[in-house]
Amino acid sequence: MVLYFTGTGNSRYAASIIARITGDELVCMNDLIRQRITDPYVAQYAFDSDRPFIFVSPTYCWRLPRVVEQFIRDSRFTGCRKVYFYLTCGSGTGDAARHAEELCRQLELEFMGLSSVILPENYIALFSAPSFDDAQGMLRAAVAPIESAARLMQLEKPIEDPNGRSGAAGGKLNSLFYKLVVKDKKFSATDACVGCGRCVSLCPLANISLENGQPQWHGRCTHCMACIAACPEDAIEYGGASRGKRRYYLSAAGRQK
């Protein structure tokens, strides 16, 4: 079973390639996380598979996103105990592998390895996204390494991370990052907003509502960049940091915005 979380489409892209090779079912964590927040009657999620579980997600500050880690901790996995992690990243995954291995140890799951692939940077609150053409090149170049990792996962062989850095101070940095940076106060809609509600429907944490036709953020943000990147009018800004920057978003059909 391939379970993916995505903000701007890269991890869905990687997960689809993996599932095509392994023949596994593809499950979107975004929908399930959102459902759990909006419906108090949703019970603990339970997944059963006789094949390894494969988690695909972006890298957030050299680790699995906290929402993904929490989802794994809150869910029940039965059948196969083997678990793989496949991260998409803009440049590197730091100590994500060590952290994912520790998570598996705590949950008594068998860590089969973490690997990653470099895809277009989406974090326009801090960095810049590549040009349309550069992003197309990166998406094309990523297919072969994703497929090779998927073949190893299909054979239940170990995988290793070409973009990791063991010994990276991921833990301390990650805590500071969530405490100081991951906030939604700087998001706002400009006059270009037409109140279409795409940001509302895409937010995996159900953190956005329309008030008088304009989006409002409610403090439960994980900085996935879905709202700002997918807005059809480019009408969302992150303070001054996003002004004039290209938005990167890859649709489920594999097309860049």
Q: Is the CB of 22 or the CB of 59 nearer to ligand FMN?
A: 59
- The CB density around residue 61, as the number of other CB atoms within 10 Å, is 19
Q: Which of 2, 3, 8, 150 binds ligand FMN (CB under 6 A)?
A: 8
- Interface residues for ligand FMN in 86-145 (CB under 6 A)? 88-92, 119, 121-123
Query: What is the three-class DSSP state of 245?
Result: coil
Q: Residue 25: which residues within 8 A CB-CB, separation 6 or more? A: 1, 2, 19, 49
Residue 86, beta-bridge partner list: 56, 115
Q: Is the CB of 83 or the CB of 224 nearer to ligand FMN?
A: 224
Q: Is the CB of 92 or the CB of 171 nearer to ligand FMN?
A: 92
> Is residue 22 a contact residue for ligand FMN (CB under 6 A)?
no
Q: Which amino acid is at 156?
A: E
Which range binds ligand FMN by CB under 6 A, 23-31, 41-49, 221-229, 238-246? 221-229
Least separation, in Å, of the C-beta of 234 and ligand FMN? 17
> Is residue 11 a contact residue for ligand FMN (CB under 6 A)?
yes
> Is residue 174 a contact residue for ligand FMN (CB under 6 A)?
no
Query: What is the three-class DSSP state of 163?
Result: coil
The tally of CA atoms less than 13 A away on the side-chain side of residue 158 is 7
> Is residue 71 a contact residue for ligand FMN (CB under 6 A)?
no
Q: Which of 30, 59, 115, 242 binds ligand FMN (CB under 6 A)?
A: 59
Q: Is the CB of 8 or the CB of 22 nearer to ligand FMN?
A: 8
Q: Is the CB of 16 or the CB of 214 nearer to ligand FMN?
A: 16
Q: Is the CB of 78 or the CB of 201 nearer to ligand FMN?
A: 201
| Whole-number Cα distances in Å, 83 to 6, 18, 110 | 19, 14, 6
Q: Which of 29, 61, 112, 114 binds ligand FMN (CB under 6 A)?
A: 61
CA separation for the pair 141, 118 (Å, rounded): 9
Q: Which of 7, 113, 164, 204 binds ligand FMN (CB under 6 A)?
A: 7
Exposed/middle/buried for 182, CB within 10 Å: 0-12, 13-18, 19+?
middle
> Is residue 29 a contact residue for ligand FMN (CB under 6 A)?
no
Residue whose C-alpha is closest to residue 145's, from 159, 132, 129, 166: 159
Q: Which of 32, 225, 231, 235 binds ligand FMN (CB under 6 A)?
A: 225
CA separation for the pair 120, 229 (Å, rounded): 12
With vertex at residue 167, the alpha carbon angle to CA 153 and CA 147, rounded to the nearest 5 degrees, is: 20
In the complex, the residues that contact ligand FMN under the rule CB under 6 A are: 6-11, 58-62, 88-92, 119, 121-123, 223-225
